[in-house]
Structures are given as structure tokens and as C-alpha cells.
Amino acid sequence: MTGFAMRSAWVLAMMVSASVASTATVAQTAPAKGDPVRGKSRSYTCLGCHGVDGYKNAYPNYSVPKLEGQNPEYIVAALQGYKSGDRSHITMHSQAQDLSDQDIVDIAAYFAGKPLVSEHKPVGTPPQAAALCVTCHGQDGVTIAPMYPSLAGQHEDYIVRSLQEYKKGGRKNPIMTGFAQNLKDDDIEAIAKYFSQQKPALKTEDRPASWLAMDEKK
């Protein structure tokens, strides 16, 4: 068995173990039910970035993620990560700091909308580097469990940035860190390109029209 195969087998075993543990935890403590109506009212600042199609983070420059169709459980985990500092992003940290646990659950319910449902028709063949990714994120990028993110149709440059952050420590997750550290830049590019092309795809949440935006269209 090659070194790459041995590392891949070890990571896979760790992922399966973590999946079992996560599932048990979720079963013991069911998440609070989110109110998307209240979540919309609490999302006015979030929509300044996540409600604009093609909007990019200023520095470093990469697309902000599409959230419509994502699993609310994952959005909750991501916001909690930004709030605690497990995810390094100054703007997201400052935004999440002011949110209560119920705010987070409600905002997640609003942005997720109707989570993606797999059609089991992957576009193309996963690259070798993505062989472990599909274990949790699905062959077509639609996740197999709600605690993992769907990647189908996500911005390619955002997936690249996320994997780089796991590799360099900007995001603290023992499973993803262990996986990403074995990836070369070409592997990361191939993974991102593959998942960004999958369908059904995540979307950018529609930003409510304002009187100013309406005036600009006249």
C-alpha cells in the first residue's frame, strides 16, 4: 500500500469514527427548531454580502459562499465556529459575536430554505483527490448527513479558500485538517472544480429589494 493510500485509509477511518460520534451527539441533543421568518429579520446585515450574487470578500479576494439549499445544521455549526474563533474571519467573527444561539438557528433556517436533495446524477467522475470527499459530501456534492456541508454548485474559489484554511489552520477541525494537509495545490483545484460543477446547485439568497435599488432601476 502506498503512502498516499495509507494516509487516505487512516483519514477515512477517522471520518467514519467522527461521523458515528457526531450522529450520537445529535441524537442526544436535538437542535432547536429555527424560525425562518425571524431569521430573515435578523439577517439584514448578512444579506449585505450573502444576498448579492457574485459578491466577493475584499481581501483576500474570493467569492462569499452560496447558502440557499445548504443544510441549516451545517450553517449553525459554521456560525458557532465563527463566534468561538474556530473559524478565522474578522468580519464573520464580529457579526456572530452579537448573535444568540436562537438567532443563529433562526438565521440558518432562513438562509437554508429547502436543502438540496440528491438526484444521484453526478456530473463527471470525481478526481482521485476527491475520493474521500464524496464519503461525506456525496458523489454529486449533496451531503449524506446534515452536519456536513453540501458543495454542489458552490463557488470554485470559495471551496479552494476553505480547503486552504483547513490546511493552514484558519479553520480548526481535526478531520478536515488531517485531510487537507495531504492535499497539494493541484488536488485542491481539482476538488473545487469538480464540486462547483455539480447539480442540483446551491444558490445565492435573494436580497430583498430596497427603495434605493428600485430607484436605480428606473
Q: Which of 187, 131, 132, 182 is nearest to 15 (CA)?
A: 132
Q: What domains are there in the chain, each with its CATH number?
A: 34-203 (1.10.760.10)
Q: Is the Cβ–Cβ distance between 92 and 80 less than 8 Å?
A: no
pLDDT interval class at 19 (50, 70, 90): very low
Tens digits of residue pLDDT in 126-157: 999 999 999 999 999 999 999 999 999 999 99
Cα 93 versus chain centre, distance: 16
DSSP E strand stretches across the chain: 56-57, 62-63
84 sits in which H/E element: helix 72-84
Q: Tell me what pLDDT residue 26 has.
A: 41
Tens digits of residue pLDDT in 60-101: 999 999 999 999 999 999 999 999 999 999 999 999 999 999
Does the bond joining 208 to the residue before it have cis omega, within 30 degrees of 0?
no
